Amino acid sequence: MRIFLPIIFSVILISCQLKNDSANNSTSEQSHPKKQKSAESILAQLKKPTKDRVLVVSHRGDWRNAPENSIKAVQNCIEMGVDIVEIDVRMTLDSQLVIIHDKTLNRTTSGKGKVDEWPLDSIKTLYLKNGAGGRTAHQLPTLRELMEFVKDKPILINLDKAWDYLPQTYALLKETNTVKQGIFKGNEPIELMKKKYGNYMDSVLYMPMVWPLNYSIYKRDSILHPIDYTKGYIENYEPIAFEVIYDQYDSSVMQNIEYMTNNNTSVWINTLWDELCAGHTDEKALEQPDDNWGWVIEKGANVIQTDRPQLLLDYLREKELHD
């Protein structure tokens, strides 16, 4: 019996030490809990950018693996860890807000004709097409359906084209309790936006788009030099970010980025096609990510909108710029 007493005593000591270590680890984890990603944490990062984090925006959702602008395309983005999904808002004949990019149904659905010439109940008989033009089992979602789906999930929604329906869109976000998950944007000066929408501008999350003087994809009521336009927002408003487009290295828009950075405002760059990012696109980043995604980050981008969300996330995680 005496032979076994030291062994038993040693086992008891080891057991006690393990319990103490476990308790210490538990206390340490409680003292430094891992931050849970949420819509609120994404919005906080967008409002107060830091150099060690780049947010990822997926253009029309994960459209390579699901129909563009579909709920499934948004769900895929949430699962892969995307921060923001860009979707497009249109209005039907009976004034219902739906999610579709084109003015017509032809390219992305099984129907034909203009979206605003179809009532919602007829649109709901249609099916979305995939990227190759094949019919799927997915239906065209309403904005209400999408916002109810993302409510309380770790994702923000960039409401492209909603500038034509800002009051209606804001009312829907209030009804679905998703005001803090929907980002509005536009390219009009702050004075004009306040004149058009009054108190709405104090209630919505708003991101001005900074374009070159010759940018003509969208019609705009007035044109200011990019620097004057940007200063107007910085001095008279609190934008959550600026969506910046520069088609050339020497674009006057490029001069604004340092001003935005100095004012701790997020700089959002689209790497979708050449004239949006001076040629530093997703497709080029497939072969040379540092020379393209890395380049726009070096030039001040802390939000990147992409057509390659999973690959961009992989790149940023490798660089320790994303969770």
Residue 231 has pLDDT above 60, yes or no: yes
User: How does DSSP classify residue 102?
Assistant: S
Per-residue confidence band for 287, with pLDDT thresholds at 50, 70 and 90: very high
Confidence check: pLDDT of 56 > 90: yes
Cβ–Cβ under 8 Å, residues 279 and 287: no
Across the range 154-165, mean pLDDT stands at 97
* 3 state SS for 3-40: CHHHHHHHHHHHHHHHHHHHHHHHHHHHHCCCCCCCHH
Please name the residues in contact with 67: beta carbons below 8 A apart, sequence gap of 6 or more: 73, 108, 128, 129, 130, 131, 136, 138
pLDDT at res. 215: 78
How high is the mean pLDDT of the chain? 90
pLDDT surpassing 50 at residue 155: yes
3-state helix, strand and coil shares in percent for the chain, rounded to the nearest 5: 45, 15, 40
Euclidean distance between CA atoms 311 and 257, whole angstroms: 25
Nearest to 193 by CA among 232, 226, 158: 232
Structure tokens, 214: 């010759």
Question: What burial letters (b/e) apply to 49-86, b meaning 16+ CB within 10 Å?
Answer: beeebbbbbbbbbbbeebbbbbbbbbbbbbeebbbbbb
Nearest to 77 by CA among 91, 93, 65: 65
| CA gap 307, 63 in Å, rounded | 8
Burial class (CB within 10 angstroms; exposed 0-12, middle 13-18, buried 19+) of 214: exposed
The pLDDT of residue 27 is: 41
Residue 217 pLDDT grade (very low, low, confident, very high; cuts 50, 70, 90):
confident
Which residue from 81, 85, 83 is spatially nearest to 43, judged by alpha carbons?
A: 83
> Residue 306 and residue 296: Cα distance in Å, rounded?
12
More confident of the two residues 218 and 307: 307
Q: What is the pLDDT of residue 22?
A: 46
Q: What is the pLDDT of residue 216?
A: 72
Task: Tell me the pLDDT band of 17, cut-offs 50, 70 and 90.
Answer: low
Range among 209-213, 220-224, 226-230, 308-312 with highest mean pLDDT value: 308-312
Q: pLDDT by residue (tens digit) across 182-193?
A: 999 999 999 999
Give yes or no for residue 25 having a pLDDT over 80.
Answer: no
Rounded Cα distance, 319 and 165, in Å = 39
pLDDT of residue 214 exceeding 90, the answer is no
pTM of the predicted protein model:
0.89
Can you tell me the distance from the alpha carbon of 69 to that of 61, in angstroms, rounded to the nearest whole number? 6
Contact 243, 282 (CB under 8 A): no
Which range, of 124-128, 146-150, 221-225, 268-272, averages the lowest pLDDT?
221-225
Q: Is the model's pLDDT at 115 over the cut of 50? A: yes
pLDDT reported for residue 212: 85
E-only strand ranges, the chain: 55-59, 84-91, 97-99, 156-160, 182-186, 205-210, 241-244, 266-270, 303-306
Residue bearing the bigger pLDDT, 31 or 35? 35
Of 161, 107, 159, nearest in space to 135 by CA: 107
pLDDT at 243: 97
R_g (Cα) of the chain, nearest Å: 24
